[in-house]
Structure 1
Amino acid sequence: MTFSWTVTEEQHEERIDRLLVTLVEDVSRTSVQRWIHDGAVKVNGQMIKPNYKVQIDDHIDFAFPKASETVIESEDIPLDIVYEDEDVMVVNKPRGMVVHPAPGHRSGTLVNALLYHCRHLPSMDEHVRPGLVHRIDKDTSGLLMVAKNEFAHAHLSAQLKDKTTERLYKTIVHGVIPHAKGTIDAPIGRDQRDRQKMTVTHVNSKNAVTHFTLDETFAHYSYVSCQLETGRTHQIRVHFAYIGHPVAGDAKYGRKKTLPIDGQALHAEILGFSHPRTGEALRFFAPIPEDMHTLLQQLREKA
């Protein structure tokens, strides 16, 4: 996989290693420096040093290491398994756990834990994400489905593509939403000014649709149920920031002054799908974590 970028006026004279850390998601500066030394990064077709200061209109080419060169170690990490059979697992991921290994997060991830539990999981694309059919962010908690073989992976992936799965999230957002229910239909793509963020844009974007229902309002916050029609990266966080109601605790898309919670107040509460082998309709529920429950109680007391 390769990444290309043309340096803008705002990025002029910035060190190449520092710039790439901001442009490429989930990459550490140490990894970038190692790849620069190995010749994986070139500017205008030439090898450079990590301290090279980029110039306006410099063309950067960055070749990532092949997934096949990456070895993922199994780790004995406790899992909250909601359901499991020979084909499928449903896991309740805690907030703070990264889903899959990436530069800077090679251990302690959900995938490391899954490999210890299952030993062999299917990997169906160029990324090293064995068993994963979908993902949720590090600082989002809640339900994930995992395929234990290629047959299950193909069927579950098809359900996501056909939009027949049920994925309901609970979140606390800033401000009082004036509508009992609504739909946010706004395309999402990579933010060209900050490659670690997504944004609502019509440039290199994909359609994104979030349906929501207002559960409860407080003095300065709203408690909301969100039904995903699509599953874009950071979708709920981007959509609610776009309409002026960012998710509480979301440092990337939200406000500095927010509720006392370690990570965004966002939880995947309900997950429904058809069993890939039997066709049985399965539906799972994981209550919001204790810290979100405590926040709601505090907001109710202040109301």
Structure 2
Amino acid sequence: MNNKKFTAHKEMRLDMFLTEQLNETRNQIDHLITKGFVSVSNKKKAKSGLKLTIGQEVFVELPEIVKEKALDVDFDIEIVYEDNDFMVINKPSGVIVHGAPSVKEATLVDWLKKKNISLSTISGEERHGIVHRIDKGTSGLLCIAKTNEAHVALSKQLEDKTMGRFYVALTDLPLKDDTTINAAIGRNPSNRLKMGLVSSGKSAKTSFVKLALSNNEKYELIAAKLYTGRTHQIRVHLESLQRHILGDVLYGFKGNTDKIKRVYLHAFSLYLKHPITNDEMNFNVPLPDDMDNFYKNNFNEEDDNEKINNEYIVARFNSII
């Protein structure tokens, strides 16, 4: 454990005090307190709302990575960029980002640990290094923090929107127009596996732009930009338009699942500022083989380089703002 000791210099809540001292987000501080890594005056079971008195001592244990808990990993992942502070990877479809009580298979975090990659620890044992996530079936770019300092900086970028991604998807019907959906999302009351438009849910905003129409005018390649990060956000907002991503049977796709074996959604482009130097950085990765083959078989291949292009996609979104 990496142990730290602080002395309260004024009366204030424990979580607010540690947020100041460690320069980390309130969510990360609450996680450390809930997991028992914080004690006050040598007493465990501290609570986030505990009011400290002047002179009270606060002890924090930053957990280390426990490598032996990793499961057997039978896949590999492309590293798009790496330095001493963070890395960007291209997650393949079918890989879960981090563990949970219901997860019985190797995850991206297990792969990172197997590679002996240095990872931030402030998000807890199951989420070492994980700054943001994408669904198991979704492929594409993810940012991984290698140090706690980088993790804090990248998390703040997510909050202030200086970090973001552009997604591309193949849909079962063309959009009528470029559009922005601003509708709250929460757990679907009639199907706990799904999310839905729920008035009491969390605010959610997504913009969609049309990129290319298939040769038979049945399918469409679209791009999506998230302004918030809700579970299944792109899929839920598309469903509200009576459009579905190919392969997304959970949200209404009714096509041939023998040929389309996963949700054709890909995090194509990632932009951020370097967590230490503050330099602006952009990354993009091509469509994975399954999506690329479908595109080539059903769309005009000559449009490939023009339409599946970061500059073109950014310009399309700028045109609707």
Instruction: Give every structure 1 segment of 4 or more consecutive aligned residues whose post-TM-superposition deviation is greater than 4 Å.
Output: 74-77
| Equivalent position of 1:270 in the other structure | 269
**Greater Cα shift, 245-254 or 259-268:** 259-268
**Greater Cα shift, 101-110 or 183-192:** 101-110
Q: Distance in 1 between matches of 2:211 and 2:166?
A: 13
Alpha carbons of structure 1 residues 280 and 298: separation in structure 2 relative to 1, 3 Å: same
Structure 1, gaps ≥5 residues long: 1-67
Alpha carbons of structure 1 residues 236 and 258: separation in structure 2 relative to 1, 3 Å: farther
Counterpart of 1:96 in 2: which secondary structure?
Answer: coil
Alpha carbons of structure 1 residues 150 and 294: separation in structure 2 relative to 1, 3 Å: same
| Equivalent position of 2:189 in the other structure | 192
| Equivalent position of 2:114 in the other structure | 116
Matching residue within 187, 202, 205 for 1:209: 205
2:140 is the counterpart of 1:142: yes
Larger radius of gyration between Structure 1 and Structure 2: 2
Once the two structures are TM-superposed, the CA of residue 120 in structure 1 deviates from its matched residue by 4.2
Once the two structures are TM-superposed, the CA of residue 147 in structure 1 deviates from its matched residue by 0.4
Q: Distance in 2 between matches of 1:75 and 1:151?
A: 29
| Equivalent position of 2:296 in the other structure | 297
Q: Distance in 2 between matches of 1:103 and 1:220?
A: 41
Q: Distance in 2 between matches of 1:185 and 1:127?
A: 34
Matching residue within 88, 91, 109 for 1:90: 88
TM-score w.r.t. the length of structure 1 is 0.72
Structure 2, gaps ≥5 residues long: 1-64, 301-321
Aligned AA (2:266): H
2:139 is the counterpart of 1:160: no
Q: Distance in 1 between matches of 2:218 and 2:256?
A: 10
Q: Distance in 2 between matches of 1:184 and 1:127?
A: 35
Counterpart of 1:128 in 2: which secondary structure?
Answer: helix
Counterpart of 2:250 in 1: which secondary structure?
Answer: coil
- Contact 2:246–2:255 at 8 Å: present in 1 too? no
Matching residue within 167, 170, 190 for 1:169: 167
- Contact 1:121–1:147 at 8 Å: present in 2 too? yes
Aligned length: 232
Alpha carbons of structure 1 residues 222 and 255: separation in structure 2 relative to 1, 3 Å: same
Question: What do you get for the CA RMSD once the two structures are aligned?
Answer: 2.2
Task: Give me the identity figure in percent.
Answer: 39
Counterpart of 2:251 in 1: which secondary structure?
Answer: coil
Q: Could you report, residue by residue, the CA deviation over 1:187-236 in whole angstroms, capped at 9, with x for unpaired residues?
A: 11111222221111112x11111111100123222110111111111111
Aligned AA (1:106): K
Once the two structures are TM-superposed, the CA of residue 112 in structure 1 deviates from its matched residue by 0.4
| Equivalent position of 2:12 in the other structure | none
| Equivalent position of 2:246 in the other structure | 248
Q: Distance in 1 between matches of 2:250 and 2:71?
A: 30
> Any residues of structure 2 matched to 1:13-92 within 5 Å, and which?
72-73=69-70, 75=72, 77-92=75-90
- Contact 1:72–1:101 at 8 Å: present in 2 too? no
TM-score w.r.t. the length of structure 2 is 0.68
Q: Distance in 1 between matches of 2:118 and 2:296?
A: 42
Q: Could you report, residue by residue, the CA deviation over 1:247-303 in whole angstroms, capped at 9, with x for unpaired residues?
A: 1101211223246222101000000100010001111011011111111122227xx
